[in-house]
């Protein structure tokens, strides 16, 4: 488990907080294991009616720890913890809400495509620099992005790597509302959902979403390309340049 993932449950809401502020909530392998465990437990807990993802002030998540990407390239089981988390994420049966304040980069953005409601503060920024790093979209974002936003907006975000402010993200459909306190609004929405008849919410949610099997299939397809790209000269050069700057 990771000390950087904090979980608490009350009033029917499981709050999963990413708390690695010194690294702007960049996710490493231990954090993916902890997120996977937290999601699995919340989904199986009958007291939980909704799951709320939060970050810390100024950062939801800066994405995957680049040092881990370098390690993945030489691993016998590359991205194992990440893949476990993504498959669990794809199968969660309870509503998920995200409260974003500040940076939402890479997986910090693609995670939002799995959420049913996203609230963001005005200072939030969204970017997926996959192409710039020599890699490809992940977390089934190549499927869920066009479904949520249309091809052109998804392409601009996921392939062009445009940086979106909160208003642009709201216009595109990635964010529901821009609010002064995303966590407070997310918490209020999560409590309202948790108080509703659980089975009715589950069925209604399922009817609105892509099937878990389709999402998992896309996760695997993306991962095949992702792992090949991790070992490419383009990606290795991009990672080295990033770590040098850092």
List C-alpha distances in Å: 18 to 59, 96, 146. Answer: 9, 15, 27
Of the pLDDT bands very low, low, confident and very high (cuts 50, 70, 90), residue 78 is low
Q: What percent of the chain has pLDDT over 70?
A: 96
Residue 68 has a pLDDT of: 77
Residue 35 has a pLDDT of: 98
Residue 8 has a pLDDT of: 97
Helix axis angle, 66-73 relative to 233-245, nearest 10°?
Answer: 150
pLDDT digits (tens, 9 = 90+) for 150-206: 999 999 999 999 999 999 999 999 999 999 999 999 999 999 999 999 999 999 999
Residue 66 has a pLDDT of: 80
């Amino acid at each position: 488990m990771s000390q950087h993932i904090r979980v608490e449950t009350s009033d029917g809401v499981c709050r999963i907080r990413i708390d690695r502020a010194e690294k702007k909530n960049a996710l490493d392998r231990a954090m993916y294991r902890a997120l996977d465990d937290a999601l699995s437990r919340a989904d199986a807990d009958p007291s939980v009616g909704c799951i709320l993802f939060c970050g810390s002030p100024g950062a939801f998540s800066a994405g995957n720890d680049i040092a881990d990407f370098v390690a993945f390239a030489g691993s016998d089981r590359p991205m194992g913890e990440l893949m476990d988390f993504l498959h669990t994420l794809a199968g969660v049966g309870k509503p998920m809400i995200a409260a974003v304040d500040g940076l939402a980069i890479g997986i910090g953005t693609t995670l939002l495509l799995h959420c049913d409601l996203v609230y963001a503060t005005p200072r939030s920024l969204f970017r997926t620099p996959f192409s710039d790093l020599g890699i490809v979209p992940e977390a089934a974002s190549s499927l869920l992005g066009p479904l949520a936003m249309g091809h052109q907006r998804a392409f601009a975000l996921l392939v062009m790597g445009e940086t979106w402010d909160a208003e642009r993200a709201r216009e595109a459909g990635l964010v529901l509302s821009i609010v002064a306190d995303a966590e407070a609004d997310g918490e209020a929405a999560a409590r309202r959902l948790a108080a509703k008849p659980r089975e009715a919410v589950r069925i209604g949610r399922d009817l609105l979403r892509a099937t878990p099997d389709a999402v998992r299939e896309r996760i695997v397809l993306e991962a095949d390309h992702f792992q090949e790209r991790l070992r490419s000269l383009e990606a290795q050069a991009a990672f080295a340049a990033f770590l040098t700057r850092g």
